[in-house]
């Protein structure tokens, strides 16, 4: 057995493997450790990115809720304002219509008074003209002078009282 060259080749092969195993093992361990560390770093970085994305997503959702709330508030406020403006414009329109109605009634009353006054003046003028025409045509000079005297007496009585 000790003289067999295959034995010595096998022993030298085992010694060679034993001698190389430790440094190769260290190199493999260092290489695998560095790869493991890189993978851990990438996992940590991925976890951080995931956490930041979730945080950003939650912030965006909260902003969306706030914006929706603000939109609802603006909608409610605008509807209230529109309602108020409708009521105000309706009130102003009613007041304006009422004022114009009063003005129209006042104008109608004034025109009625003017027409009545014109009619009275026309009637008075016509009556005076008719009376003077009748008096001119039907009264004699004596009757005219008696009528003037009676009128002066009545005027004196009225002035004394």
Residue pair 126/134 in contact by the 8 Å Cβ criterion:
no
pLDDT tens digit string along 21-31? 888 888 989 99
Q: What residue numbers bound the domain in which 69 lies?
A: 5-160
Q: What is the Cα–Cα distance from 141 to 52, expressed in whole angstroms? A: 129
Cβ count near 139 (within 10 Å):
13
Q: What is the Cα–Cα distance from 123 to 117, expressed in whole angstroms? A: 10
Query: Domain count of the chain?
Result: 1
pLDDT tens digit string along 114-160? 999 999 999 988 888 888 887 777 777 787 788 888 888 888 888 88
In the predicted model, what is the mean pLDDT of residues 7-35? 89
Residue pair 7/1 in contact by the 8 Å Cβ criterion:
yes
In the predicted model, what is the mean pLDDT of residues 97-116? 95
């Amino acid at each position: 057995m000790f003289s067999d060259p295959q034995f010595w080749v096998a022993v030298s092969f085992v010694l060679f493997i034993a001698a190389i195993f430790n440094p190769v093992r260290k190199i493999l361990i260092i290489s695998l450790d560095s790869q493991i560390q890189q993978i851990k770093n990438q996992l940590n970085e991925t976890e951080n990115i995931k956490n930041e994305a979730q945080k950003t997503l939650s912030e965006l959702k909260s902003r969306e809720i706030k914006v929706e709330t603000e939109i609802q508030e603006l909608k409610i406020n605008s509807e209230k304002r529109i309602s108020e403006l409708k009521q105000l414009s309706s009130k102003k329109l009613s007041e304006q219509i009422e004022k114009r109605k009063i003005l129209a009634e006042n104008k109608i009353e004034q025109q009625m008074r003017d027409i009545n006054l014109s009619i009275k003046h026309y009637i008075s003028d016509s009556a005076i003209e008719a009376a003077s025409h009748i008096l001119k045509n039907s009264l004699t000079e004596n009757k005219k002078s008696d009528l003037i005297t009676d009128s002066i007496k009545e005027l004196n009585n009225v002035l004394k009282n």
